[in-house]
Amino acid sequence: MIIVMASRNKEDVDHVVSKVEELGYKAHVIVGVERTVIAAVGDERGKHRLQTLEAMPHVERVVPILKPFKLAGREVRHEDSVIEIGPVKIGGGHFCVFAGPCAVESREQLFDTAKAVKEAGAHVLRGGAFKPRTSPYSFQGLEEKGLVLLEEAGKTFGLPVVTEIMTIEQLPLVERYADALQIGARNMQNYGLLKAVGKSRKPVFLKRGIAATINELLMSAEYIVSEGNPNVILCERGIRTFETETRNTLDIQAVPVLKRYTHLPVVIDPSHASGHWDLVPPMAKAAVAAGADGLMIEVHPHPEDAVSDGEQSLRLERFAELMRELEALIKLVGKTT
């Protein structure tokens, strides 16, 4: 249920919050530009009892939240969320580019990439230290050594870093080094992991599962937000279809559909969606045109030598060229970088 407050006074809001909690519900206060609301979430069965709060002073009205995703939905928060990753902003008109190698391989590889993507205008450095690979015999990542390199590269070039976390046990380690936590496609419905990152104070970059619906992606975001972490960035990275020409099929329609339902920022990853470096620039442009709040792009100084995802990685110069091409387009859709 949404309790729309007639007052923005802290004491009045706190009073209603304690009433909500007395009834056994979790209260999330959402301070918007136009109004303050309290989202009362919990067991749907007793929700009629919340309706009685309409009789309280300073309560304007109590209305049900119709969608199954409560806190992630636009019903409780009309305006776009702006999420901060270190000094970088994404959402609500702020466009953000996450760029870097698929995996952290060496100091030289990471530093060359970080320097180049920073100079080209990227905002956040990406790179995997724990890699979810289809084969257990493939390179699994540099683990803590990779995290140390990421933190150092980020500090050297002035880029916050995002990296994937695969298990709950990795959380304290990854949190220590990263500015944002990535949940990969394979873990989108790992509910234990979602709850764990929901308790973290770091923003979460949540990738859509390869066979997940938009509703399922939003419900996964709800797991994180309902644990107290409102800073979730959604990422469409291609879904599996019958098409074999490309690695996955980029669901570009997911952008406007997600924007209709959620206030959370939406990012497109054209690298994993297509699987081919030459498809990345046109799909990146399509993402901007469709209304995405950002892009995640794999970049490597020597894609032919990459230990993972070389075929879809842009060379440093090609990435810089793409960033120049995107600049005018981002301005045209009314966003800033």
**Smallest distance, Å, CB 17 to ligand PEP?**
37
Cβ-proximal residues to 48 (8 Å cutoff; 6+ apart), any chain: none
**Smallest distance, Å, CB 127 to Mn ion?**
10
Best CA proximity match to 275, nearest among 301, 324, 241: 241
Q: Determine which helix (DSSP H) or strand (DSSP E) holds 317, and give its type and residue range.
A: helix 316-332
Best CA proximity match to 99, nearest among 333, 291, 326, 253: 326
**Sole window of 21-29, 94-102, 115-123, 226-234 interacting with Mn ion (rule: CB under 5 A):** 94-102
Q: What is the DSSP string of 7-50?
A: ---HHHHHHHHHHHHHTT-EEEEEE-SS-EEEEEES-GGGTHHH
Best CA proximity match to 5, nearest among 28, 22, 24, 25: 28
Query: Bridge partners of 125?
Result: 99, 161
| 250 in contact with Mn ion (CB under 5 A) | no
**Residue among 118 and 247 whose Cβ is closer to ligand PEP:** 247
**Smallest distance, Å, CB 73 to Mn ion?**
30
Cβ-proximal residues to 73 (8 Å cutoff; 6+ apart), any chain: 65, 67, 218, 261, 262, 263
**Sole window of 32-40, 68-76, 110-118, 180-188 interacting with ligand PEP (rule: CB under 6 A):** 180-188
**Residue among 74 and 186 whose Cβ is closer to ligand PEP:** 186
**Sole window of 91-99, 168-176, 183-191, 194-202 interacting with ligand PEP (rule: CB under 6 A):** 183-191
| 237 in contact with ligand PEP (CB under 6 A) | yes
**Residue among 20 and 103 whose Cβ is closer to ligand PEP:** 103
Q: Measured between alpha carbons, how far is 268 from 297 in angstroms, rounded to an integer? A: 9
| Binding-site string for ligand PEP from residue 195 to residue 234, where x marks contact by CB under 6 A and - marks none | ------------x---------------------------
Which of 27, 50, 62, 102 binds ligand PEP (CB under 6 A)? It is 102
**Smallest distance, Å, CB 284 to ligand PEP?**
15
